Structure formats: C-alpha cells, structure tokens
Structure 1
C-alpha cells in the first residue's frame, strides 16, 4: 500500500517555514529567481525527506507500542470470579 504524497497544506507551520527558508537560500545561492522546475525539484526533495522522517518516526512508535503492549501472565491461574458477573444471569 503506497502512502499518499504529502502536500504543503498537510505540513506543520514549522515545516512550511523550513521549506520557504530552503527555497530562499537556493534563490540567494543562484543569485536570481528560481524557475518552476528548480522550485518543484527542491520541494519534491524536501517532501521526500519529510515523508521518510515521518515514516521512521511512525515505525519507532509502532515498535514501542508493540513492546509495551499488555501481555497476560501465563503463570497466573484462571479466576472464574473475575470473569463472571456478581449479579448472575437474568
């Protein structure tokens, strides 16, 4: 299952600011306005990096959740009183 591509609207404000800063630095380095192709190329690279970062964070979160998941004690005996209603059947 492919992950849908991240759009600028879905980015946080800090990520959007970082992208704008990246584009401004590239414009200053070239000494002129960037062409649409150059701008799109920089955006695509940044979004790819951002998606990889988010995927790595999600993978770590899944591993941590799996590690901390509740595991029943295999040595404990089954308690009928804990699993039956105190009021009985109706």
Structure 2
C-alpha cells in the first residue's frame, strides 16, 4: 500500500504503462530514467515462491542465465562468479 513494488518497477524499468512517473531515477550518478529495462542491468529477486523448490541453488541461478552462456563449464563459471 505504500508504493514499494511500484518504486521497484520504476527502478527496474518494468513500470506498467498505466502509471505516470515524473522525476528521475539516478543510481551511482547515472540517470536510468530513459534507459530500456535490459540496459539498466538491475534485477529483483523476491523472497518467496519465485524459486523452483525441486532444483538446487545453482540450478535456480542457471535458470536465469542468458542463452548465450553455453556449455556446462561456462554456465558453472558464471554461477560461481
């Protein structure tokens, strides 16, 4: 009710078009306001129910890797970084 999720959506660039945002979003001196979502390089991991309980921690992390990361060794290296 206080706008926490809306604020996070604005920061990540996933704010629904139905919302109107004024002002700027700055992070480390950089204005993120006009950047597309993927260029912001910010993600959110919520605390509950967004993990696959039947997978290991590593497998859950691997699920979010970009498709360009191919091969078992490359994926493991990225997860452990």
Normalising by the residue count of structure 1, what TM-score does the alignment of the two structures yield? Answer: 0.22
Higher RCO (Cα < 8 Å, 6 or more apart) = 1
Q: Which has the higher helix share?
A: 1
Task: Please identify the structure whose Cα radius of gyration is greater.
Answer: 1
Q: Which has the higher strand share?
A: 2
Normalising by the residue count of structure 2, what TM-score does the alignment of the two structures yield? Answer: 0.23
